[in-house]
Structure 1
Amino acid sequence: MTAPPVDAVRALECALSLCRQELAESRGRAQGLALAEAVFTHAANPLAVLDRHYDFLRVNDAYARCCGKPVEAFAGRNHFEMFPSDARLVFDDVVQNKPASTTFTRALIFPDQPERGVSYWDWTLVPVLDADGEVDALVLSQVDVTEREAGADALRQSEARYRRQAAELELIYRTAPVGLCVLDTQLRYVHINEHLAEFDRLPVEEHLGKTIRETLPDTAARVEPLLRRVLETGEPVLDLEGRGETEPGVWRHWNSQYWPLKSADGRVYGINVVVEEITERRRLEETRQREQAFRSLAENSSDIISRFDRELRRIYVNPAIEAILDRPRETLIGKTHHDLGLPEALAAALDRPLAMVFETAQPLAAEAVVPTPKGERYLEARIVPEFDASGAVETVLAITRDLTERKRAEEALQASERKYRALVENLYEGVWLLDTEADTTFVNARLAELLGYPATEMLGRSVFSFMDPEQVEAMRGNLLRSAAGTRAEYDFEFRCKSGEPIWTRVAATPIVDEGGRYQGTLIALIDITERIRSAEALHRREQEFAALVERSPDIIARVDASLRLRYVNPAIERLTGRPRDWFIGKTPGERELSPEEARLREATLRAVFESGEERIVEQRNPSLNGERIFQTRLVPEFGPAGKVESVLVVERDIDDLKRAQEALEELTLLDPLTGVANRRFLERFVGREWMREARQRLPIAAVMVDIDHFKDYNDHYGHAQGDACLRTVSQTLRGALHRPADILVRYGGEEFIVLLPESDLAAAREIAERLRQAVEALALPHPTSPIGDRVTISLGVAAVQAHEGEFDQLLIAADAALYRAKKKGRNRVEASGAPAADAARPP
Structure 2
Amino acid sequence: RRSRKIAQFLDGFLALTLPVEYISPNVEAELGYKPSELVEGNVTFAWLIHPDDLDSIQAATAIAVAAQRPCMDTKYRLRHANGTYCWMAEFTRIIYAPDGTATKFLGYIQDITERKQTELALQKSKATKQAMLEAIPDLLIRLDRQGTRLDLISGGEVTPYGDIDLQRQQTIYELLPPELVDQRLQLIRQALDTGERQIYEYQIELNGDTHYEEARIVSLNQNEALVMVRDITDRVAAELALRDSQQRFQAIFDQMYQFMGLLTPEGILLEANQAALAFGGFRREDVVGHPFWEAGWWTISPETQAQLRQAIAAARQGEFVRYEVMVQGANQQVITIDFSLRPVFDDQGQVVLLIPEGRDITQRKQMEEELERTKIFLEQTNTVAQVGGWEADLHQGVVHWTPITQDIHEVGADFEPTLEEAINFYPAGVNRQRITTALEQARQTGQPWDEKLQIVTAKGNLRWVRALGQAEFVEGTCVRLYGAFQDIDAQMQSEIRLQELTRSLQRANEELNHIATTDALTQVANRRYFDQVLAQEWARAQRNGTELTLIICDVDYFKPYNDHYGHPAGDLCLQQVAQLLRSNVQRRGDVLARYGGEEFVVLLPQSAIAEAMVVVDRIRRDLAQARLPHEFSAVADRITVSFGIARYAPQAQSLPGELVADADAALYKAKLAGRDRYHISTRDQDGDLDQAPKQS
TM class by shorter chain equals: 0.3 to 0.5
Name the TM-score, length of structure 1 as normaliser: 0.30
Larger-gyration structure (1/2): 2
